[in-house]
Amino acid sequence: MSNTHHVRGSSVYWRRGERTRRSSRPSPRLARLYGQLTVAFLVAASAAALFREWRLLAGVGALAGATIVLAVGASSIRRTLRRGLQSEPALRAAVEPALEPAPEPLELALASPSLVDVDLMDGTEFERHVGALCLRDGCNEVRIDGGAGDLGADVTACLPDGRLLVVQCKRHAPDRGVGSPDMQRFVGTARPVHAADVALFATTSHFTDPALELAVSQAIVVIDRVLLAQWMDGTPVDAIIAAAEADFAAEGRAPA
């Protein structure tokens, strides 16, 4: 089951996949409990018979019986609740949020402040980290849409000046550069498909020379490992974008 984080402003919600149907057979833990209680009861019965302590036998029997009733009752309640949630969509929609753990707030992605920590992230965590940086810098409507079918828009946000920012994220090892093919794919979707006002490509590594040349020619803002560290250290994303756009203007480039 895959979960994709979606963010609007500072709120986070999940898209849940289909849940796997659980077996109706008793769990191994419950089966072990039955076995242990049975053994304990037989041992106590033998001891009570030997010493004619029938009151002890009655007490042990009552305790074992009550424990089994409670265990079976809890299992029955869980099964009944599951059946009710499956048969009543409205009830499921109301109850499931209380049963599921709350998603991690997007701001908590900023708890990894160093590149060493970022190198330990997977691709989804890096996308969340980039989204959190955008949120920190005053962006609105931040969305994390990375995954298959995102067409290069791992993160989208509305910049403080109102422009639409589309971000492609690549979490690579420091020695693995982002090549021209990846840049070509992003160029082909950032503005034609997503209507980006600002297209930004962020990576934990570096860009090859052909990728950089293509980025400049198409006015794609690039954030490599060095610039990522500066961004994480407090340089706001709109300042990074402004510097890149000044370079584009000097080169006679402008967003298509």
> In whole angstroms, how far apart are CA 134 and each of 14, 22, 73?
20, 40, 50
Mean local confidence (pLDDT), 144-149: 76
Q: What is the DSSP string of 92-134?
A: HHHHHHHHSPPPPPGGGGGG--SHHHHHT--HHHHHHHHHHHH
Contact 99, 82 (CB under 8 A): no
Of 185, 184, 177, the C-alpha closest to 203 is 177
Residue 69's Cβ-count burial label (10 Å; 0-12, 13-18, 19+) is exposed
pLDDT digits (tens, 9 = 90+) for 87-116: 666 655 555 555 455 555 665 555 556 899
Domain boundaries, the chain: 25-99, 106-250
Residue 4 has pLDDT above 80, yes or no: no
pLDDT > 70: percent of the chain: 53
- Beta partners for 203? 170
pLDDT, mean over the chain: 75
What pLDDT, on the 0 to 100 scale, is given for residue 165? Answer: 98
Check residue 174 and give its pLDDT: 93
Instruction: Give the model's pLDDT for residue 119.
Output: 93
CB 220 within 8 A of CB 253: no
Q: What is the pLDDT of residue 12?
A: 38
Residue range 106-250 forms a domain whose CATH class is: alpha beta
If one counts every other C-beta atom within 10 angstroms of the C-beta of residue 138, the result is 14
Per-residue confidence (pLDDT) for residue 150, from 0 to 100: 74
pLDDT of 210 above 80: yes
Please check the confidence at residue 220 and state whether its pLDDT lies above 70: yes
